[in-house]
Amino acid sequence: MDNITHALQGIKVLDLTRVLGGPYATQILADHGAEVIKVEPEFGDEVRDWGPPFNDSIAAYYINLNRNKKLISIDLRQKQGQDIILKLLEDSDVLIENFKTGTMENWGLGFEDVLSKKFPKLIHCRISGFGSDGPLGGYPGYDVIIQAMAGMMSINGMPDSGSVRIGSPIVDMGTGLYSTIGILMALQERNVSGRGQFIDMTLYDSAIALMHPYNANYLLSGIPGTPTGNDHPNISPYGKFKTRTNEIVIMIGNNNGFAKLCNELGLEELLSNSKFINNSDRVQNRDELNKLIENALKDVDGGEFSEKLLAAGIPAGPVRNIQETLDHPHTEHRGMKITEGNYQGISSPIKFSRSKTAGVKIKPSKIGANTRQILSSLGYDSSTIEEMLSTGVVSEMKEDNNNTQQ
C-alpha cells in the first residue's frame, strides 16, 4: 500500500455533468487522484463559451472546473452511445450526472431498473434542481433562481438595498461540495456493505442547508431574517469599518475578544458601559458601538492595524480585491495558485500530511480530446471508431495549430 500517492487513487468516476455543481465535484475528486472521464455532447459543456476571458477559445469558467479529466464526446441519444456508457461503467466506481430528471431513465440508463442490476457496486449521484417528485419535482434549477427561492437573497445586501444575489455561485458550489461528501460517504459505506447506492442531490436542498444561522434564528424566534449588510444578526461588533487607508473587517465573538479590541483602540471605558457588557447588549446597541469603533479607527493604517489585531488574537482583516488576494505572500505560501505552462488555476484547499494532490496532470482541452484513446481502451478497433465518428455517435474536435491547452 506504500505506492498509493493520492487519497482517491484507484477510484474511477464517470462524469456526465455540465456547468458548475457537478464539474466542481468531479474536479475535487480528480485533484485527489480519482480517474475522471468527462462525457460531453458534440457541442461540449456550454460553459466553454461563458466568457470572456478565454484561453485558446476555452472560457476561464470551464478551465477552472475541468482539469485532470479525460474528455470524450458521445451522443447519448443514440443507442450505440448509450452502449459506450455501459462499457465505461463496467469498471467505474461512481457515476455523476445532472441531466433533467427522467433523462437517464428514458435512455435506458436508470439506476433502479438498469444500472443497479448491471453494476451492483456502482454509486450513482444525481444533481438536479429540485428532485424528481414533490411540488417542484422535475423543474430545472439554476444558482440565482435557487438563491431567490431558498431565502438567500432575502438576507443578502444592505438594509436599504433590498434582496441581492450573492456574487459567488454559492448554491452550485455548495451542491458540488455536498455531492463530493455524499460520494465519499457512499464509498465508505460500500466498503462495509459491498453495495452501491443512489445519491439524490438537489440545489434546493443544498441552498436551504447553507442558510445558517438564518434558518436557525427563524425556527427559534419566528422572525425571518432581513438584509444586514456587513453586520451579523447574532454578533456585535461584526462588520466593515473605514480607516485612514482602507476598509477592514472586525469580528468579535466573546467578551474576552471585545476587551482586547477595546484595549487596542483605546476604548477601555466601553468595558464598564452597560450598553456593551455582553454580546446581546452589543447587538442591541450595534449602531452606537459601530460609530465609536469607526471613530477610533479613522487615523490608523488599516493594513498594519489588521495585522496588529490578528497578532493580539482579534479576528480582523483588510478588505482586498481578487488581485490583492491572489498576489498575497500567504496565498503563495499555501500553494493556492497553480501555474503549469499557460494554465493558471486555483488549487485544492484540501491538504493531507501524506496524500498528495494531483496538480495539473491533464489540462482542460478541446472537446473529445481523448475520445479515440478512451474507445481503444474499451476494446473498440480503429475501423469501429472511425465509423462511430462518421455517424456522430462520438466526436472529436480537430487540433487547432494555435491550441496550447494540450
330: its cell numbers: 500567504
**Residue spans of beta strands (DSSP E) within 150-259:** 198-202, 238-241, 248-251
Q: Catalytic residue at 200?
A: no
**Residue carrying the nine cell digits 437573497:** 153
Nearby residues of 395 by Cβ (< 8 Å), 6 or more positions away:
42, 73, 74, 75, 367, 368, 371, 389
SS3 string of 383-405? HHHHHHHHHCCEECCCCCCCCCC
- The C-alpha atoms of residue 260 and residue 268 are separated, in whole angstroms, by 9
The three grid cell numbers given for residue 273, joined into one nine-digit string = 458601559
The C-alpha angle with vertex 24 and arms to 369 and 98, in degrees rounded to 5, equals 85
Contacts of 88 (CB under 8 A, 6+ apart): 14, 37, 39, 374, 378
Neighbours of 78 (CB within 10 A): 16
| Helical (H) or strand (E) element with 187 | helix 170-193
Q: Are 45 and 74 in contact (CB under 8 A)?
A: no
How many Å is the maximal CA-CA distance in the chain?
Answer: 85
Cell triple for 33: 487522484
Q: Where are the alpha helices (DSSP H) in 194-250?
A: 203-209, 214-221
Quick one: how far is CA 368 from the chain centroid?
24
Determine the Cα–Cα distance for residues 315 and 353; give it in Å rounded to an integer.
27
CA-to-CA dists, residue 151 to 80, 171, 178, angstroms: 44, 12, 19
Give the residue carrying C-alpha cell 476587551: 259
Q: Which of 172, 281, 301, 327 is catalytic?
A: 172
The C-alpha cell of 227 is what?
A: 438584509
Strand partners, 317: 249
Reference 343, options 22, 79, 63; nearest CA is: 63
The catalytic residue positions are: 172
